[in-house]
């Protein structure tokens, strides 16, 4: 991403970059120390900013003369405060024109970045790779989806946004982990079924959210998983006995072969992931096309930047005014 930002910046005579959601500052350091861009690295988390500064100290040994090129700020951007924060930062450091960028800027952070780009006259270029579509907001005056007028009448639910984060292209590369994930989906479905059967929940209830379990310890067998999941849900771990869990597992896996049907269903759902992601990205593209006024230097594009086997969120949006 560094070379791409460098090219966009140089082509547009921009020397200053805002890296929003800079995290530990890997991209910020590359832009500053390798490409001599003046970088303001902003992150909402003090822990991330401190980590970034620590890495800067290590990296600076080879780039002593470039220390002044990077500046870290901790600020949590929201749609309400984003413009004010940027303006106050710009008053402290005056810039002629800016490029705003974000690498794996999660959920609404990416859409906020797009809006800042269209609303602030001194931000002349944008380079953005999003991620975590399940954190997108869908309501309010500045929703994360949809942004564009073109897709105004479309809605995506939280399940669809979760699916957009899937990376089916990785399955072949990570065969064992993928097969394990299928088994875990089967565990989850069977648990739900047993909870309904035992009257622990009703079939019409919203599916309970179990949250993260320990991948090694809690998935050792279905009876172990059941206990861990019930505990996590604040229920009696013995509400389903280990014998019962083992018997149901044996029946539904080996006799009814329900696990195979779940695998087919899961595969079909997950294959829709890239389609939904395209939809989200197309919405962002259309928003920029609709909002940035025509000019000889206006350009909006989306292109694959990384190998999607290494980094599934690999599509970058590049725009200039």
Ligand X SMILES: C[S@@+](CC[C@H](N)C(=O)[O-])C[C@H]1O[C@@H](n2cnc3c(N)ncnc32)[C@H](O)[C@@H]1O
Residues of the shown chain interacting with ligand X in the complex, contacts defined by CB under 6 A: 21-24, 26-27, 43-45, 48, 76-77, 103-104, 106, 109, 131
Terminal C-alpha separation, the chain? 20
Residue 207 Cβ vs ligand X, minimum distance, rounded to whole Å: 27
Between CA 238 and CA 200 the distance in angstroms is: 12
Beta-sheet pairing, 315-320 with 299-304: antiparallel
Asked if residues 297 and 152 have their Cβ atoms less than 8 Å apart, the reply is no
Choice between 26 and 193, CB closer to ligand X: 26
Which of 56, 242, 285 minimizes the C-alpha distance to 250?
242
Residue nearest to ligand X (CB): 23
Minimum CB separation of residue 100 from ligand X in Å reads: 12
Task: Name the strands in the sheet holding 70-74, side by side, starting at the edge strand that comes first in the sequence.
Answer: 70-74, 38-43, 16-20, 98-106, 123-131, 315-320, 299-304
Nearer to ligand X, 108 or 259 (CB): 108
Q: How near is the Cβ of 24 to ligand X at its closest, in Å?
A: 6
Query: CB 64 → ligand X: shortest distance, Å?
Result: 24
Instruction: Quote the tokens at residue 109.
Output: 């952070």
CB contact set of 54 (below 8 Å; sequence gap of 6+): none
Question: Which one, 170 or 232, has the nearer CB to ligand X?
Answer: 170
CB of 49 to ligand X, least distance (A): 9
Please state the closest distance from residue 179 (CB atom) to ligand X, in A.
Answer: 27
Q: Tell me whether residue 52 or residue 230 sits nearer to ligand X (CB atom).
A: 52
Q: Which CB, 45 or 221, lies closer to ligand X?
A: 45
CB of 220 to ligand X, least distance (A): 31
Nearest one of 98, 48, 108 to 78, comparing CA atoms: 108
* Nearer CB in complex with ligand X: 20/228: 20
Q: Judge contact between 185 and 266, C-beta under 8 A.
A: yes
Are 78 and 137 a contacting pair, CB within 8 Å? Answer: no
Give the helix, strand, coil percentages of the chain, each rounded to 5: 50, 15, 35
Q: Which pair of structure tokens corresponds to residue 112?
A: 């906020």
Helix/strand/coil for 50: helix
Q: Specify whether the CB–CB gap between 82 and 112 falls below 8 A.
A: yes
Residue pointed to by tokens 């970059």: 17
Q: Which residue number, 179 or 309, has a Cβ lying nearer to ligand X?
A: 309
Nearer to ligand X, 48 or 320 (CB): 48
Least separation in angstroms between residue 20's CB and ligand X is 6
Q: What whole-number distance in Å separates Cα of residue 199 and Cα of residue 145?
A: 38
């Amino acid at each position: 991403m560094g070379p791409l930002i460098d090219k966009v910046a140089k082509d547009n005579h921009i020397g200053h970059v805002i890296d929003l959601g800079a995290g530990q500052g890997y991209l910020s350091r590359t832009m500053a120390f390798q490409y001599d861009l003046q970088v303001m690295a902003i992150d909402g988390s003090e822990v991330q900013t401190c980590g970034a500064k620590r890495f800067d100290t290590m990296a600076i040994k080879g780039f002593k003369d470039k220390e002044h090129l990077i500046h870290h700020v901790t600020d949590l951007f929201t749609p309400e405060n984003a413009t004010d924060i940027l303006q106050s930062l710009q008053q402290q450091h005056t810039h002629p024109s800016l490029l705003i960028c974000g690498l794996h800027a999660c959920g609404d952070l990416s859409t906020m970045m797009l809006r800042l780009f269209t609303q602030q006259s001194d931000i002349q270029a944008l380079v953005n790779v999003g991620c975590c579509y399940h954190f997108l907001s869908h309501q309010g005056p500045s929703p994360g989806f949809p942004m564009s007028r073109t897709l105004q009448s479309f809605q995506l639910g939280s399940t669809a946004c979760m699916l957009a984060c899937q990376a089916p292209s990785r399955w072949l590369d990570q065969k064992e982990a993928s097969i394990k994930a299928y088994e875990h989906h089967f565990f989850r479905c069977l648990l739900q079924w047993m909870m309904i059967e035992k009257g622990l929940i009703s079939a019409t209830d919203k599916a309970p959210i179990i949250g993260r379990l320990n991948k090694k310890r809690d998935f050792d067998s279905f009876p172990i998983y059941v206990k861990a999941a019930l505990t996590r849900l604040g229920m009696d771990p013995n509400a389903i006995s280990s014998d019962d869990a083992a018997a149901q597992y044996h029946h539904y896996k080996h006799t009814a072969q329900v696990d195979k049907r779940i695998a087919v269903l899961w595969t079909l759902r997950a294959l829709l992931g890239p389609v939904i992601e395209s939809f989200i990205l197309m919405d962002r593209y259309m928003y920029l096309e609709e909002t940035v006024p025509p000019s000889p230097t206006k350009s909006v594009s989306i292109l694959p930047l990384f190998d999607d086997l290494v980094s599934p969120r690999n599509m970058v949006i590049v725009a200039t005014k």
